[in-house]
Amino acid sequence: MRTYLVTGGAGFIGSNYIHYMFRKYGGQIRIINADALTYAGNLENLKEVEGRTNYTFVKADVCDQEAIRQIFAGNEIDRVVHFAAESHVDRSIRTPETFVRTNVLGTAVMLNCAKAAWELPDGSFRAGKKFLHVSTDEVYGSLQETGYFYETTPYDPHSPYSASKAGSDMLVRAYIDTYGFPANITNCSNNYGPYQFPEKFIPLLINNALSGKKLPVYGDGRNVRDWLYVEDHAKAIDLIQEEGRLFETYNVGGHNEKQNIEIVRIILDTLREMLPEDDPRKALLSEDLITYVEDRKGHDRRYAIAPDKIQAQIGWKPETMFREGIRRTIRWYFEHEDWMKRVTGGEYRTYYQEMYGA
C-alpha cells in the first residue's frame, strides 16, 4: 500500500486533494495528513474520511523538524505532496515574516527530512519516492493584456507572499540540481471550490452577497485572474505524480480568465438563478453591494497560465469551465451554511472587520 504524506491537508486545496484521492483509490493507498491547524486549517473539512483505517491525522508544523522527522521515521513514506503554506496576499503585506517562516523554512524542513529518509549511501534515492511541491502562478509576476505564463517564464514576484513562494520553489530546484532529489514543482492558477476559507475572493463574495453585505473590489475591478476548479487541480497533481517526468515543473491552469468585477457579477447572477423565489435573500442581491476599495499594494494586473506542457506530456487539461464550477461551488456553500458560520467566527471575524470595515 503506497503511503502519501500530505502537508496542509486540512486546508482548502489539501482537503479537496485528500477527498479526491480516496474517491479514486479507496483502500489502495494510505494518507498521512500533517497540518498545524492554523486559522485556515479545519479538520471539519475531512469529517468524511477521518474514520478510515488508511487515513491518519498528525498535528504538526512543517517548520518543526523533529515532528516531521518522526513522521518519516515511523512510516514508509512513498509520496510527499507539500501544500502547507501561508497563501493570502493581504496577510503577507501585514506580516511578511510569517510567510517567510512557513513557506521558505517549512519547505526546507520538508526537503531535508525527505532527503534524509530516502537517500541511499551512494547519494542516489530509493526507487519510487517522489516529492511534489505545490506553488502558485504569482511567482511569475504580472502580465499585460496578452501573453501567458510558461514554465520558462522568469520569476518576478511582487508581494511578500509570492516572493516567499518563489523562494520555496528555488529551494526545491536547488535540491533537484544539487542532489538529484526526486521532486516536481507545480505552479497553479487561482483555485476555487468547496471548503475554501472565506477570506479568499469567491467565498467572501458568496458569503457577503447572501448576507446583504458589501462586495469589496480592489481598484477598478479589472484585474484578471485565471480560475481553476479545485478538483481539476487535484487530478493534475495525481497525474503528475503517476506519469510526470521527475525534476520537471508543470504549470496547471484553468483557461478561465476573468476580470474581478466580472466574477462579482457572475456570482450575483448565479445566486439569483439558484435561490428559490421565496428566499428572502434573493432581494438582497443587488449590484449596489459592489464597493470599490483602495487597490492592494503591488497588485498584479493579470495572471494567465499556459498548461500546454502538462497537456502534451501527461494528457491533463481542465475539465470544469467557470460557470459550471461556480454553480457547483455555490451549491456546496448552500449545503454547508453551518460550516461557513463556524469558520467565519473568532479570529477571522476580527480580521475581516479590520480589513473590510464590515
Residues acting as catalytic residues: 137-138, 161
CB 169 within 8 A of CB 183: no
Nearest to 79 by CA among 119, 28, 130, 133: 130
Give phi and psi for 99, each to the nearest 5. -70, -40
Of 167, 185, 162, nearest in space to 82 by CA: 185
Q: What's the maximum distance between 2 C-alpha atoms anywhere in the chain? A: 70
CB–CB of 116/72 below 8 Å? yes
Helix axes 260-274, 201-211, angle to 10 degrees: 50
CA distance 291 to 272: 19
**How distant, in Å, are the alpha carbons of 157, 170, 236, 247, 275 from that of 310?**
23, 20, 8, 14, 38
C-alpha cell at 323: 460557470
Give start and end residues of each alpha helix (H) in the chain.
12-25, 65-74, 89-94, 96-99, 106-118, 160-179, 201-211, 230-243, 260-274, 308-314, 322-335, 337-343, 346-356
Q: How far is Cα 46 from Cα 159, in angstroms, rounded to an integer?
A: 31
Edge-to-edge order in the sheet of strand 190-192: 190-192, 224-229, 257-259
Distance CA 84, CA 111 (A): 13
